[in-house]
Amino acid sequence: MRIAPSDIGLFRFLLEGYDNLGVFTVVNKFKGILLLRYSPHLGREMRTFLKAAATEMNVDVLPSPRKAS
Protein backbone atom coordinates (compact mmCIF):
# COMPACT_ATOMS: atom_id res chain seq x y z
CA MET A 1 0.00 0.00 0.00
CA ARG A 2 1.05 3.59 -0.45
CA ILE A 3 0.36 6.61 1.74
CA ALA A 4 2.02 9.99 2.07
CA PRO A 5 5.30 9.59 3.94
CA SER A 6 4.14 12.19 6.46
CA ASP A 7 1.13 9.94 7.30
CA ILE A 8 3.13 6.87 8.36
CA GLY A 9 2.96 7.81 12.05
CA LEU A 10 -0.77 8.47 11.82
CA PHE A 11 -1.27 5.12 10.08
CA ARG A 12 0.59 3.35 12.91
CA PHE A 13 -1.56 5.16 15.48
CA LEU A 14 -4.80 4.21 13.71
CA LEU A 15 -3.74 0.58 13.27
CA GLU A 16 -2.90 0.33 16.97
CA GLY A 17 -6.36 1.72 17.72
CA TYR A 18 -7.86 -1.25 15.87
CA ASP A 19 -6.33 -3.67 18.39
CA ASN A 20 -3.22 -4.17 16.27
CA LEU A 21 -5.26 -5.85 13.55
CA GLY A 22 -2.05 -6.37 11.58
CA VAL A 23 1.53 -5.23 11.34
CA PHE A 24 3.31 -3.28 8.67
CA THR A 25 6.82 -2.72 7.44
CA VAL A 26 7.97 0.47 5.77
CA VAL A 27 9.37 -0.66 2.41
CA ASN A 28 10.21 2.82 1.13
CA LYS A 29 9.96 5.74 3.56
CA PHE A 30 10.43 8.32 0.82
CA LYS A 31 7.51 7.05 -1.29
CA GLY A 32 5.36 5.96 1.66
CA ILE A 33 5.19 2.32 0.56
CA LEU A 34 4.16 -0.07 3.30
CA LEU A 35 3.87 -3.84 3.40
CA LEU A 36 0.82 -4.72 5.47
CA ARG A 37 0.52 -8.20 6.98
CA TYR A 38 -2.52 -9.67 8.67
CA SER A 39 -4.16 -13.02 9.24
CA PRO A 40 -6.26 -14.18 6.26
CA HIS A 41 -9.34 -14.69 8.45
CA LEU A 42 -9.25 -10.97 9.33
CA GLY A 43 -9.60 -9.81 5.72
CA ARG A 44 -13.03 -8.25 6.21
CA GLU A 45 -11.90 -6.38 9.32
CA MET A 46 -8.77 -5.16 7.53
CA ARG A 47 -10.82 -3.84 4.60
CA THR A 48 -13.04 -2.01 7.11
CA PHE A 49 -9.95 -0.53 8.75
CA LEU A 50 -8.49 0.59 5.42
CA LYS A 51 -11.77 2.31 4.50
CA ALA A 52 -11.73 4.11 7.85
CA ALA A 53 -8.07 5.08 7.42
CA ALA A 54 -8.89 6.44 3.96
CA THR A 55 -11.14 9.04 5.62
CA GLU A 56 -8.00 10.44 7.32
CA MET A 57 -5.46 10.12 4.49
CA ASN A 58 -4.99 8.95 0.92
CA VAL A 59 -4.58 5.17 0.92
CA ASP A 60 -3.57 3.41 -2.28
CA VAL A 61 -3.81 -0.36 -2.06
CA LEU A 62 -1.16 -1.85 -4.32
CA PRO A 63 -0.99 -5.44 -5.57
CA SER A 64 0.69 -7.76 -3.11
CA PRO A 65 4.24 -8.79 -3.96
CA ARG A 66 4.63 -12.29 -5.33
CA LYS A 67 6.53 -14.80 -3.26
CA ALA A 68 9.66 -16.25 -4.81
CA SER A 69 9.31 -19.93 -5.63
- Domain enclosing residue 17, as ranges: 5-53
- Residue 60: inside a domain, yes or no? no
Half-sphere exposure of 43 (CA within 13 A, CB side): 2
Q: Is residue 41 part of a domain?
A: yes
Quote the pLDDT of residue 67: 63
Task: Judge whether 43 lies within some domain.
Answer: yes
Supply the pLDDT for residue 69. Answer: 53
44 domain residue, yes or no: yes
How confident is the model at residue 64, as a pLDDT? Answer: 77
- Under-50 pLDDT residues of the chain: none
Q: Is pTM beyond 0.75 here? A: yes
Domains held by the chain: number? 1
By CB atoms closer than 10 A (0-12, 13-18, 19+), residue 33 is middle
Q: Is residue 17 part of a domain?
A: yes
Q: What is the pLDDT of residue 68?
A: 55
